[in-house]
Amino acid sequence: MSRPRHILPSRAGIGLRTPHYQAMLETRPPVSFLEVHSENFFGDGGQPLRYLARFREDYAVSTHGVGLSLGSADPVSPSHLQKLKRLVDLIEPTLVSEHLCWVGIDGRYLNDLLPLPYTEESLAHVVDQVDRVQSALGRRILVENVSSYLQFVESTIPEWEFVREVARRAGCGILLDVNNIHVNAVNHGFDAHTFIDAIEPGSVGEIHLAGFQDTGDVLIDTHGDFVADPVWGLYQRALARLGPVPTLIEWDTDIPPLEALLGEAAKADRMLAECVAGRHAA
């Protein structure tokens, strides 16, 4: 039997995390796709890859990298890229994505998604790196806009233009994280609609939704809560602009029972259905 490849754009997927493996195997919920963090499957063998192969028989899968460090002034690590390629060749994911950020420099890793200075230099560099990755993998990737708690003095380009230009020049797609747009809009004081309105329809291959934590003076992108109301509002605005796009519910800390994720996915499904219906009516 061939593996599912197609992701229904009108139906949401969920992030696949180990606490849900058993419930997923027992209930096989009809989500559109499952997303995994690529690095969790960089090992040579054993249980992680065996489980992933098993889920892959029934679901389309997307691999989402957190460690490639596309935005580092260091060239992309050949060994990291080789492990990613091995995983991609093995699992045949429908979507492959990375973050528009840097994770380390001078061979030393901070293992966190650090924002870039949005300059012409960074832009040209990231475009080169994305090009290298796409050549090595032999396929198009998506790059995700990250959440951030700081902006660099030397930035000269608005984040939304930077994201749009990377996709245009590198020929990659965008993974539009709507929660990150909201977090950044609040943290840095810009209008989230400006961001969404700058993104070109057709350039977005996937949308991410997640929950954040409000510490009082800053929003922290924890992926540890339900999607907030303003984020659902932005999501609807994004769908109105972009049309139905494969959407993923991410939940990585304080992971609740599977039902909570499925509930969020069902809510996204309803908005996707409204978007489709609205387009037909128009």
Partner 1 sequence: MLRDLQAAVAAALLGDPAAAADRVVGGTLTPTRRLEIYRHNVISNLRGALRDIYPVVERIVGEAFFVHAADQFIRDTPSRSGDLNCFGAEWPDFLAGYPHAAELPYLADVARLEWAWHECFHAADAGPLDLHRLAAVPADEHATLRFRLHPTVRLLASPHPLLRIWQVNQPGYDGELALDWDAGGDALLVRRDGDAVTIEALPPGAFRFLSALSCGGTMEATAAAAMAADAAFDLQGFLLDSVQSAVIVDFERDSQ
Which residues are at the interface with partner 1 (CB under 8 A)? 39-40, 42-48, 50, 66-69, 72-73, 77, 79-80, 83, 102-112, 114, 116-117, 119, 121-122, 125, 149-154, 188-189, 217-218, 220
**Nearest distance, CB of residue 87 and partner 1, angstroms:** 11
Going by their DSSP bridges, the two strands 95-99 and 142-144 should be labelled as parallel
Query: Is the Cβ of residue 18 or residue 194 nearer to partner 1 in the bound state?
Result: 18
DSSP 252: -
Residue 122: phi and psi, rounded to 5, are -60, -45
Nearer to partner 1, 67 or 93 (CB): 67
9, burial (CB in 10 Å: exposed 0-12, middle 13-18, buried 19+): middle
Pick 10 or 213: Cβ nearer partner 1: 213
User: From the CB of 209, what's the least distance to partner 1, in Å?
Assistant: 21
256: its two tokens: 């609740």
Nearer to partner 1, 32 or 77 (CB): 77
SS3 209: strand
Closest CA to 253 of 75, 6, 15: 15
Q: How far is the CB of 111 from partner 1 (least distance, A)?
A: 5
| Strand 213-214 relative to strand 219-220, pairing | antiparallel
- Minimum CB distance to partner 1, residue 169 (Å): 17
| Min separation Cβ 152 and partner 1, Å | 6
